[in-house]
Amino acid sequence: MNFGGSLNNSSGGGLGGATIVADIPFSNNMAAAGAMAQNIYNSPGLSLALQQPSIGNQGDGVRMGENFEASIGRRSREEEHESRSGSDNIDGVSGDDQDAANNRPRKKRYHRHTPQQIQELEALFKECPHPDEKQRLELSKRLCLETRQVKFWFQNRRTQMKTQLERHENSLLRQENDKLRAENMSIREAMRNPICTNCGGPAIIGDLSLEEEHLRIENARLKDELDRVCALASKFLGRPLSSLATSIAPPLPNSNLELGVGSNGFGGLSTTLPLGPDFGGGVSNSLPVVPPNGVERSMFLELALAAMDELVKMAQTDEPLWIRSLEVGREILNHDEYSRMFTPCIGIKPAGFLTEASRQTGVVIINSLALVETLMDSNRWAEMFPCMIARTSTTDVISSGMGGTRNGAIQLMHAELQLLSPLVPVREVNFLRFCKQHAEGVWAVVDVSIDTLRETSGAPTTYVKCRRLPSGCVVQDMPNGYSKVTWVEHVEYDESQIHHLYRPLLSSGIGFGAQRWVAALRRQCECLAILMSSTVPTGDHTAITASGRRSMLKLAQRMTGNFCAGVCASTVHKWNKLNAGNVDEDVRVMTRKSVDNPGEPPGIVLSAATSVWLPVSPQRLFDFLRDERLRSEWDILSNGGPMQEIAHIAKGQDHGNCVSLLRSSAMNANQSSMLILQETCMDAGGSLVVYAPVDIPAMQVVMSGGDSAYVALLPSGFAIIPDGPGSPGPTTSNGNGDSHRVGGSLLTVAFQILVNSLPTAKLTVESVETVNNLISCTVQKIKAALQCES
């Protein structure tokens, strides 16, 4: 309905009457009313009428102004006037008619649109809410209306629709506000009366650490949503609602869980989030909130809790979840029982992926706190497992723990896991690591892949070749500084790029399984215990000072790390793979430039590696390769002469775990003696023999405690692991007709050689052929010495 017109003073400031002109649209009613009311109160006639209400007809004018304002208020409140959508119009009158009617009041004449006219207008409005002048002219002719009636009808209809939308949005905001109020009240009630989920009784404050983390995150999200709602309501109501947040979420007295987001359990992470243009011009709040990926972090927390629950159950549950296999001598996961007990926390297994699962328990010489600190520090974790972790880093810290401990610590990590063979690609995993203290002296650390969550949140991802299901360890303190460690490994991976020689090893869970992690942990902890001991182990050369031992061990550690990086082609170095036609099929040849690296000779470094299966036990093969007296049987570069051990540093109870310095004797006057630094180690997961020629003056400096970082070396050596079930070993039968497979070893041979001292030089075909022949001859000599040529 159109309200137009102005109140006309026609005689001496008195209010003689009102002329209504139907040319002001409904959307301008409020402004018109304000202007008219201002004119009334500023007029002399009105002032006179206020002072002398009984004089003349000014009282009628006052009442008319009051009635007009009242009618405006009623129209803003009553739905029936809006529902007509401008279908009623006041017939307009011309200026001549106004002059003729100045001295007599006129009645308002309304024009009500017919149902057919309204139907036509509504139909066009649905198609075009903003018709142009041509469309309005055609419509007015067709409906027998004036063009301005059509124009005003569309203006009023648009205003009505806008009002209805705002009313609907306000209703939604009220509902959301009520929901936030209820959630906030429930959280506050839960905080006042905590209940243990296990026994149903009152919870101890120490048991609320994880729940506190969850409540802080949830409260931060609710506060953010609440302030967004307040900003929206402020826009539509035209006044700030700063008091709404306080009325809904008042501060809790004497509570450790602050409702403010500045202390959200994420190490004080906070940011200023300006409200964007969607919330109106000039409307903004500066609030400490969870960072932009707060929703993703909340998802990470839920994933961490689910993964921890699954890890603990898999570590503590025996049959029927884990079944002891007499054939392979270890536990095998019952996948049917696993599917019944657990819901996949990172989604279903991708098509074509295989599953490997294993569990191992062992006792290691380290306490739970020290082991937890090692696992939560990426650098110390890599040093603890040097042959298994090629590279690792912490990409984000969601929570650093509470109370100065690692309890509740959550961090995102990236790692490259390796099996020392060129036939097995490096496993790159992005995962979440979560640490929790379950009781006094009992900790658990769980890993779980996060690629599925990042796909859900829209973050950029790459093709995943390996997914880490909830895996990790449960550590329990034992007397005398020892710990009982139960390790669980559960992985899904793509087998297509793995050589057939290693597929049985990986599918059985031996290659990357829990047994290998526990064995490496036990060996490394034993090594650290010996190195920290004040007594020199039996067999060590007492001539080496304590600082000299540390320098030699540091040099050996760098040598072994470079050897593993060359075998597995990890991203520690930038390797370029060569596809030469004169290289054996299973030999991988790579090259890189060594520039400005004091620990390596400058020039072109060529790396060649291959893996073969030998029908020899791992122990026999390891003893043969590490014995300096038998070295001439396989080492082509040893000049064929005997080797002598001139220094020995033990790294474990087993004599084979050590770092030694070997010297080759010159066979004739044309040959010079040479020093070889060698590190050997062995555990249940495999063994390693790594060596490198070193300069005699440089080693004298190292043995006296000098810096080993400037000793240039290029490592070579062997990696030995037991073969798995299904490997190409022969079978033998006993007198009862029972047959069993003869166990063997998977041997990896690798060399790194400087083929040119100029980094800009071109690699020649002769250099590649030389390295290829060196590997082939070494493998043949080993087979001949162990009598396994066939």
Rounded CA separation 301/64 (Å)? 67
Highest mean pLDDT, choosing among 100-104, 207-211, 266-270: 207-211
User: Which of 107, 139, 167 is the last residue before a domain boundary?
Assistant: 167
More confident residue, 383 or 790: 383
Instruction: Specify whether the CB–CB gap between 437 and 463 falls below 8 A.
Output: no
Does some domain include residue 737? no
Domain containing 603 — which CATH number? 3.30.530.20
pLDDT level of residue 78 (50, 70, 90 thresholds): very low
Alpha carbon separation from 623 to 519, 630, 631, 746 (Å, rounded)? 19, 10, 11, 15
Q: Tell me, letter by letter, the H, E, C secondary structure of 512-580.
A: CCHHHHHHHHHHHHHHHHHHHCCCCCCCCCCCCCHHHHHHHHHHHHHHHHHHHHHHHCCCCCCCEEECC
pLDDT over 50 at 63, yes or no: no
Q: Are residues 522 and 553 in the same domain?
A: no
Does some domain include residue 106? no
Q: Are residues 428 and 341 in the same domain?
A: yes
Q: Are residues 522 and 601 in the same domain?
A: no
pLDDT digits (tens, 9 = 90+) for 291-324: 435 667 778 888 999 999 999 999 999 889 999 8
Take residue 432 and report the two structure tokens written for it. 């979440």
pLDDT score, position 738: 54
Bridge partner residues of 753 (DSSP): 606
pLDDT level of residue 10 (50, 70, 90 thresholds): very low
pLDDT over 50 at 70, yes or no: no
pLDDT digits (tens, 9 = 90+) for 204-244: 555 455 667 778 787 887 887 777 777 665 554 455 654 44
What type of residue is 149?
Q
Bridge partner residues of 392 (DSSP): 415
Mean pLDDT score across all residues of the chain: 75
More confident residue, 185 or 272: 185
Rounded CA separation 357/467 (Å)? 12
pLDDT level of residue 201 (50, 70, 90 thresholds): low
pLDDT score, position 763: 80
Instruction: Specify whether the CB–CB gap between 613 and 501 falls below 8 A.
Output: yes
Percentage helix, strand, coil, to 5, in the chain?
40, 25, 35
Q: Are residues 610 and 684 in the same domain?
A: yes
Count of domains forming the chain: 3
Strands 643-650 and 658-664 come out as antiparallel
Q: 294: Cβ–Cβ under 8 A, 6 or more apart, which residues?
A: 217, 220, 221, 224
pLDDT digits (tens, 9 = 90+) for 725-744: 756 555 555 555 555 556 78
User: Which of 499, 529, 559 is the last residue before a domain boundary?
Assistant: 529
What type of residue is 207?
D
Q: Are residues 441 and 308 in the same domain?
A: yes
Does some domain include residue 160? yes
pLDDT over 90 at 641, yes or no: no
Q: 177: Cβ–Cβ under 8 A, 6 or more apart, which residues?
A: 226, 229, 233, 244, 248
Give the helix/strand (H/E) hosting 749: strand 745-756
Q: Are residues 381 and 466 in the same domain?
A: yes
Q: 141: Cβ–Cβ under 8 A, 6 or more apart, which residues?
A: none
More confident residue, 94 or 268: 94
Which DSSP category does 284 fall into?
-
Q: Are residues 494 and 549 in the same domain?
A: no
Domain containing 135 — which CATH number? 1.10.10.60
Does some domain include residue 83? no
Q: Are residues 648 and 509 in the same domain?
A: no
Does some domain include residue 110? no
DSSP 368-423: HHHHHHHHHSHHHHHHHSTTTEEEEEEEEEEE--STTSSTT-EEEEEEEE--SSTT
pLDDT score, position 56: 40
Most distant CA pair in the chain: distance in Å? 142
pLDDT score, position 244: 42
Q: Are residues 559 and 680 in the same domain?
A: yes
- 728 three-class SS: coil
Does some domain include residue 705? yes
Find where tokens 């018709």 sit. Answer: 131
Please tell me the number of Cα atoms within 13 Å of 160 on its side-chain side.
23
Provide mean pLDDT across the span 191-201.
70
Alpha-carbon torsion (423, 680, 520, 560), positive or negative: negative
Does some domain include residue 715? yes
Rounded CA separation 599/573 (Å)? 13
Q: Are residues 499 and 566 in the same domain?
A: no
pLDDT score, position 344: 86
Q: Are residues 520 and 606 in the same domain?
A: no
Q: Residue 640: give the domain boundaries.
A: 544-728+742-786
Does some domain include residue 670? yes
Q: Are residues 523 and 575 in the same domain?
A: no
Query: Comparing 8-17, 48-57, 254-263, 374-383, which segment has the lowest mean pLDDT?
Result: 254-263
